Amino acid sequence: KNSSHSKAKVDCLECHKADPQEPDSREHEGASISALVTPNDCQRCHPKAVKEFNDSLHSKGATFVQPLDKERGKDDFLAYVVEGKAAAVMGCEKCHGSIVTFNQGASDPTTWPNTGIGRINPDGSRGSCSACHTRHRFSIAEARKPEACGQCHIGPDHPQLEIYLESKHGAIYQHEGREWDWDVATPYWDTRHYRAPTCATCHMSGVGVLESTHNVSSRLSWELERPLAVKTENWQEKRAKMQKICLSCHSAGWVKGFYQQFDAAVELYNTKYFIPMQAMMNELYAQGLLTSDNKFDEEIEWVFFELWHHEGRRARMGAAMMGPDYVQWHGFYDLAKGLVKMKKLAQELKVRSINRQGNPLVPK
């Protein structure tokens, strides 16, 4: 009753009505409904937002952890095999999304409930709008605050919320954010209504001539989550869009200087750390000192994984969002220390192999 939907006379059935032939539909008080509301339902009123979301990396969230349409060859080995499926269902899939299945209105409890951002729905659509606009308020103010993003963008492997809060932007938000006007309608919400950006400001909001978007990837010039950071497709165009956000508060010289520092940090990670680490691992696999069918049965494989997936991301993302502690002590310091450990473990594997060849009693 307190939502914008209610004020616009949008009732429950507008969103929850379902075709009786759909697998997730069931009868309720004379109507065919589904508890599962998908982007296909939302696009009846919000076609632009759904189209933009479908073009974003958010819509592919589920495919990062499990197979779909050959986008991944198999389930994420660490999540579903090493840790176990129940851990993946209650962990990875809660943010990335599950492949939801229903049968005659009854849900598969291993796939539902789920509000993961890249959820695969029975109608073929991807996503869950309530991942950010939680039901049943569907508040734009809620989605604009960094805590909405921090439901998933948090922790040792992608600590964007923590990085933001330690940045100058985050310090200002924590000091005075409660005083800002969060409910201004799109596209009118801009720098008149806040003194520092949030996640939504930089990645989604319209400022000046830049239109708002639900494609959170449309302003990213680097893919920092990958083992080796790479530039995105059409990265110059995307960077120009992001810089328009920066320039709404900062001078051109400030923005140029930041991006030079940022790029240098990413290139440092690539050249000094990841490329040598990957070469080391490739050599061990080629020599048969590591088994390729199980990536987590030797200590060095865990160390390598965490160096790019945890420490390496923290360094790169810290640089992107101006979190110096994450660049230094949670990032490059741990990378430097971990690289030394990797070299030691690699040498131990080689020595063990030599000893085993000379003495068959030496354990593998």
**For residue 229, which of 190, 259, 271, 198 has the smallest C-alpha distance?**
271
By 3-state DSSP, what share of the chain in percent is helix, strand and coil, each rounded to 5?
50, 5, 45
Query: What values do phi and psi take at 207, rounded to 5?
Result: -135, 130
With beta carbons less than 8 A apart as the criterion, state whether 76 and 65 touch.
yes
Question: Is residue 43 within 8 Å of 37, Cβ to Cβ?
Answer: no
Q: Which pLDDT does position 103 carry in this prediction?
A: 81
CA separation for the pair 145, 200 (Å, rounded)? 7
Q: How many CB atoms lie within 10 A of CB 159?
A: 23
Residues in Cβ contact with 292 at an 8 Å cutoff, skipping those fewer than 6 apart: 285
| DSSP H or E run through 283 | helix 275-286
Separation in Å, CA 202 to CA 130, 152, 212:
21, 18, 10
What is the separation of C-alpha 123 from the centre of its chain, rounded to a whole number of angstroms?
24
Domain boundaries, the chain: 35-131, 217-356
User: What pLDDT shows up at residue 364?
Assistant: 54
Task: Match 């690699």 to its residue by tokens.
Answer: 346
The one-letter amino acid at 80:
Y
Q: Percent of the chain, pLDDT > 70?
A: 96
217-356 placed in CATH 3.30.465.10:
no
Which pLDDT score, from 0 to 100, does residue 359 have?
63
**Of the candidates 1, 313, 289, 357, the residue with the CA atom closest to the CA atom of residue 156:** 313
Which pair of structure tokens corresponds to residue 85? 């499926």
Q: Tokens standing for 172? A: 């200002």
Q: What is the pLDDT of residue 293?
A: 84
How confident is the model at residue 83, as a pLDDT?
94
Supply the pLDDT for residue 68.
Answer: 62
Q: In this predicted structure, what is the pLDDT of residue 361? A: 46
Q: Which residues of the chain have pLDDT under 70?
A: 67-75, 358-364
Please give the distance of CA 283 from its chain centroid, rounded to a whole number.
31
Which own/partner pairs from 166-172 qualify as long-range (CB within 8 Å, at least 24 positions apart)? 166/323, 166/324, 166/325, 166/326, 167/321, 167/322, 167/323, 168/196, 168/322, 169/196, 169/197, 169/198, 169/321, 169/322, 170/146, 170/196, 172/196
- What torsion do the CA atoms of 207, 213, 218, 219 make, to the nearest 10 degrees? 20
Looking at residue 295, its pLDDT comes to 86
